[in-house]
Structure 1
Amino acid sequence: MQYEPPAPLPERTLGEAAPLPDPVSLPLTRPAGCPFDPPAELARLREQRPLSRLHYADGHVGWLATSHSAVRAIAADTRFSSRYELMHYPLLEGGPGGALPPAPVGDLTGIDPPEHTRYRRLLAGKFTVRRMRALTARVEQITAEHLDAMERQGPTVDLVAAYAHPVPALMICELLGVAEADREAFQRHAAAVSDADATVADQLAAFEALGDFVRELVSAKRARPTDDLLSDLTTTDLSDAELAGIGSFLLAAGLDTTAHMLGLGTFALLQHPAQAAALRADPSLADQAVEELMRYLSIAHTGARAALEDVEVDGQLIKAGETVTLAVGAANRDPARFPDPDTLDLHRKATGQLAFGHGIHQCLGQQLARVEMRIAFPALFRRFPTLRLAVPPEEVPLRLQMGLYGVHRLPVTWDEA
C-alpha cells in the first residue's frame, strides 16, 4: 500500500518542520530483568515523535522510526531503497560503498525493483497451497520425532540444539530437496555458522561449506530434478549462480528466524506460565499465539531504508540520501496500534504485527514459518506439561550482538512420568 502523507499543519509547509531535538544514538540496552522488552528509550522516543534524528557510526545523521504507522509507511514506500550499499548503519563504520557491499546474487533483502520483482515473481508461485499442505504433514512428523528423542534422552536438554534448530533446518531440507543422506552434514554446517562458541575462522569455514553445499545441490537438481522448490526453479531462466544465491538466501532466511523464534518464544512462554497453560489447554490458540509471539518478541528488531528522493512521513521531511532505521520492536509495542502492548496475551488478535516485514520485502517464506511454529509450540507444551527452565532465567545466554535476537542455548527440564 502506497503511503499517503498527512495534510500539512497550517503554520508550515513541506520542509519547514518545527525544530527537532538533537540527534540520538540508537538505544540498545534492554531493561534489566526484562529480556523480551525492547530498550525503554525507544518507547520514550516514540511518545515524543514517530521520527527522531539518529546519529550513525560514520557521522551520518539520519532518522529513527519508532511508531507502527511510520515504520509501516516507510517499509511500503518504494521511494525508499533496501540496497545495502546505499545505507548508513548505526553501528558500522564507513559510509555507503564502505559499510556493506551490494547484496550477493539471489539475496532479495538488499535489492530493489526491477531485479527484486523478477526474483520475487519467480519464487512467489513456488510457495503453493499444495506444497505448504505437504510440508505441514512433515512438520508434524519431524516435531514428533524430535520430541520422542527428547523424551528418550530425559531431562535436562538444550532446547535449541534438540528442537528449535533441527525442526526448521530439516524443513528447509524438505523445501529445497536435500537428500536424506546429506541432511546431517547440512545441519552441522548450518549450526556452526551461528555457534556462539565457534571461532570466527570456524564460522567462516562453515559458511563456505554451506555455499559449496548449495552449489552442489543446484547441479544435482539440474541433472535429476525432484519434487521440490529448487528443482522447480531449474525450469526458469535463472542461472546456476542465481539458483545457488537464492538457495543460500532461503536457507538463511528460513532457518535462523524460525529457530530463534522457537527458542526465544519458548523462553517467553516459560516466563509467562499462564499463557503457556492457555496454549496447552486450547491448541486452537496456535494461530493467534504465533502472531502475538512475533509481535511481542520482534526478533529482527531493526530494519533500514535509504531515501531515493525527498519524502515526507508523519510531517517530517526525509531528504534523498538519508537513511531511516526502522525500530520494528518499538513499532510492535506501539500502544496506538496494540493496546497494553507490553503484555504477552495469546488471546490478542495481533493482526498487523510487523515482524515479518511489510511491503514488497515482506518475508517470502512467512507461511512456512507460521506452519512450523503453529505445530511446534503446542506440540512441545502438550508433550511436556511440566516443562520449565533448568537454570535461573538470568543465566540463559542471550544472542545480543547479532542481527537476530534470540537465545544461544535454552536448558530445560521436566518431570518424568
Structure 2
Amino acid sequence: MTPSADQHDTVHPPFPMARSCPFSPPEEYAKLREGEPVSRAVLKVNGKPTWLVTTHEHVKKVLGDARVTSNLKLPGYPLQVPVPEEMLQAVPLTFLSMDPPDHTVQRRMLAPEFSLRRMRALRGRVQAIVDRQIDEMLTAGGPVDLVTALALPVPSYVICELLGVPYEDHPRFEKWAWAIMNHEISEEDRGRAHYELDQYVDGLVTAKESEPGDDMISRLIEQNRAEPAVEHADIVSMARLMLVTGHETTANMIALGTLALLENPDQLKIVQDDPALLPKAVEELLRFFSISDSGTARVALEDIELGGVTIRAGEGILPLNNAANHDETVFPEPDRLDVHRREVRSHLAFGYGIHQCIGQNLARLELEIVYGTLFRRIPGLKLATGLDQLRFKDDAMVYGIYELPVTW
C-alpha cells in the first residue's frame, strides 16, 4: 500500500518557498528531490494542501498524464493568488485551463500565429524594435533602468503589433498584468484588474468584429466566422491571455538573462565571441531561471501513483519546473550557468505535454535578438548598482526583477 495525503501526519512546509540566492531555486527543492520527490506542502495564500513534484522525470510524467487537469475552478486546484470564489467561477476559462476537446479547438486556432514560419517573417520587425530601444538608451546615456528601457518595451511592442492592440495603452495592461500575477495583491484589487482588463480586451474584439485589420485578433475572428468553433467570449479570453503572457514572461527573462550574463562574464564572452551559440545560450538561461516555476498547476482526476506515493483524485499538484530543471541527474552542476550545456534542450521551462507554452517560438526569437544585439552594440554594459540592491519578484507568480540599473 502506498502512502497518500491522509496518511501523512507531519507538519507540511509552506509554499512558495524562499530563495536564498536570486540565481538558484529554493534550497528545499534539492532536499525534496533527494529525500521526498513527491511531497506535501500547504499554500501560503490559503493554507490548502497540495502535492509538490520535484524531479525531472516525475514533473514530465505529471504534465504528460491525461489523468490530470489544469482546470483552476476545481476545489483542489493549487491556486497561489487570492481570488474571490464568485469571480473565479464567473471568469471564463482560458485554453490554458481547459482539457480536450475544448483546449484542442482553441490551441489549433492559435498555433499558426506562432509557427516557426511566422516567427522567421517577424525577425526583421523584432530586430527593428530592439535597435530602436537601444538607440534611445545610447542617446540617453547611462545609467538607465534596463527594465523600462528595453526589457518591458520590446515584448510589449511586439505583442501589441501581433494582436492589433494600440501600444499607447501599454501602461494600463502592464498594470493589470502585474496585479493579476502578484501574490500579495488583495482580492479586491485583483478582481478589479481582472474586470478592467476583460472589459478592455472585449472592447478591442468587438471593434475588430466590425472593422478587422491585419492582426491576430482579426484573423481569429475571421477564422471563426468561416468555421464557427468558439464564442465571442472565447476570442476575448484568448486575446487577453496572449496580451498578458506575451509580454510579462519575456520581459522578466530579458532582464534576468542580461543580469546572469553580466554576473557570469566568462559565459558572456563565449557568446560574444561566437554569436552562433546564442540559441543555445537562450535555452540555458530559460532552464537556469525557469521563471514560471509553478505555472503548471494541476488537479488529479483519478488516483495516480507517482514515485511510490498515491495522489488521490481531486488533490492538487504542483509540478515544479524550476526543481525539474535543476535536477542533477539530468543537468550536471545545475546551479552553474553553462552556455555549452549539451542536455539543455531537455529543460521544461515551457512546460510539457498538450499545455506546453504556445508562444515559445516567439519568446526564443525575442530573447535571441535582444541578448545578441544588446551585448554587440553595448559591449561595455555593466551593473550600475550592487547585486544586493536589486529587488527581485519574490512576490509574483512569474519571477523577475523590478528594476535593473545599468551603465556602460
Structure 1 residues 324-333 or 53-62, which shifts more? 53-62
Partner Cα separation in structure 2 for residue 27 and residue 128 of structure 1: 34
Q: Which residue of 2 aligns with 1:270?
A: 262
Gaps of 5+ in 1: 1-12
Distance 1:103 1:71, change over 3 A: farther
SS at match of 1:385: coil
The match for 1:378 among 357, 372, 376 is 372
One-letter amino acid of the counterpart of residue 70, structure 2: S
Distance in 2 separating the partners of 1:66 and 1:167 = 33
Note the alpha carbon deviations across 1:252-295, whole angstroms, 9 max, x for none.
Answer: 11111101100111111111111122222221111111110010
SS in structure 2 at match of 1:306: strand
Over 3 Å counting, the alpha-carbon distance change for 1:284 and 1:395 in structure 2 is: same
Conserved 8 A contact 2:72-2:79: no
Counterpart secondary structure, 2:73: helix
Counterparts of 1:103 and 1:78, CA distance in 2? 26
The 1:307/1:104 distance shift into structure 2, 3 A limit, reads same
Over the matched positions of the two proteins, sequence identity in percent amounts to: 41
1:279 corresponds to 2:263: no
Partner residue, 1:363: 357
* Pair 1:307 & 2:296 matched: no
Query: TM-score, normalised to structure 1's length?
Result: 0.86
The 3 A distance-change label for structure 1 pair 213 and 112 is: same
Q: 1:250 aligns with which of 218, 242, 253?
A: 242
Alpha-carbon distance between aligned partners in 2 of 1:68 and 1:118, rounded to the nearest angstrom: 29
Shift of 1:92: 6.1
Retained in 1: the 8 A contact 2:42–2:48? yes
SS of the aligned residue for 2:345 comes to coil
Conserved? CA contact 2:16–2:43, under 8 Å: no
Q: Is the 8 A contact 2:250 2:363 kept in 1?
A: yes
Alpha-carbon spacing, 1:330–1:239, altered in 2? closer, same or farther (3 Å): same
302-311 or 81-90: which moved more?
Answer: 81-90
Quote the offset at 1:343 in angstroms: 0.4
Residue 219 of structure 1 and its aligned partner are, at CA, apart by 2.6
Match of residue 282 from structure 2? 290
Greater RCO, 1 or 2 (C-alpha within 8 Å, sep 6+):
2
- Which deviations, in whole Å up to 9, do the C-alpha atoms of 1:295-314 show, x marking residues without a partner? 00011111321111011122
The correspondence of residues 1-400 of structure 1 with structure 2, limited to 5 A, is: 22=10, 24-25=12-13, 26=15, 28-31=17-20, 34-56=21-43, 60-86=48-74, 87-89=76-78, 98=85, 101-102=88-89, 104-105=91-92, 107-178=94-165, 182-185=166-169, 187-193=170-176, 208-235=195-222, 236=224, 237=228, 238-302=230-294, 303-349=296-342, 350-400=344-394
In the TM superposition, what is the alpha-carbon distance from 1:30 to its structure 2 partner? 1.1
Alpha-carbon deviations, 1:131-187, whole Å to 9, x = none?
212211111110001010100010010000000001000110121123xxx3122x2
Aligned partners of 2:167, 2:255: CA distance in 1, in Å?
Answer: 21
* Structure 1 contact 64–326 (Cα < 8 Å) conserved: yes
How large is the Cα RMSD of the aligned pairs? 2.8
AA matched with 2:141: G
- Flag the structure with higher helix content: 2
Aligned twin of 1:4: none
Q: Is the 8 A contact 2:115 2:361 kept in 1?
A: no
**What is the distance in 2 between the residues matched to 1:172 and 1:91?**
26
C-alpha contact 1:189 1:207 (8 A) present in aligned 2: no
Deviations 1:95-140 (A, max 9, x none): xx94982483361222222221221122113323442122111111
SS in 2 for 1:54: strand
Cα distance in 2 for residues equivalent to 1:99 and 1:54: 26
* Amino acid in structure 2 at the alignment position of 1:29: A
Gapped runs of 5+ residues in structure 2?
A: none
In 2, Cα distance between equivalents of 1:399 and 1:289: 23
Question: CA 1:297–1:101 in 2, change beyond 3 Å: closer, same or farther?
Answer: same
Q: How many residues align?
A: 393
* CA distance 1:21–1:389, shift in 2 (3 Å): farther
CA distance in 2, matches of 1:304, 1:293: 22
Matching residue's letter, 1:49: E
Q: Is the 8 A contact 1:60 1:88 kept in 2?
A: no
Among 402, 406, 416, the residue aligned to 2:400: 406
Q: Note if contact 1:177-1:226 (Cα within 8 Å) is conserved in structure 2.
A: yes
Contact 2:18 2:394 in 1 (8 A): no
CA distance in 1, matches of 2:174, 2:47: 36
8 Å CA contact retained: 1:83, 1:110: yes
- C-alpha distance in 2 between matches for 1:27 and 1:252: 22
C-alpha distance in 1, partners of 2:61/2:400?
A: 27
Partner of 1:3: none
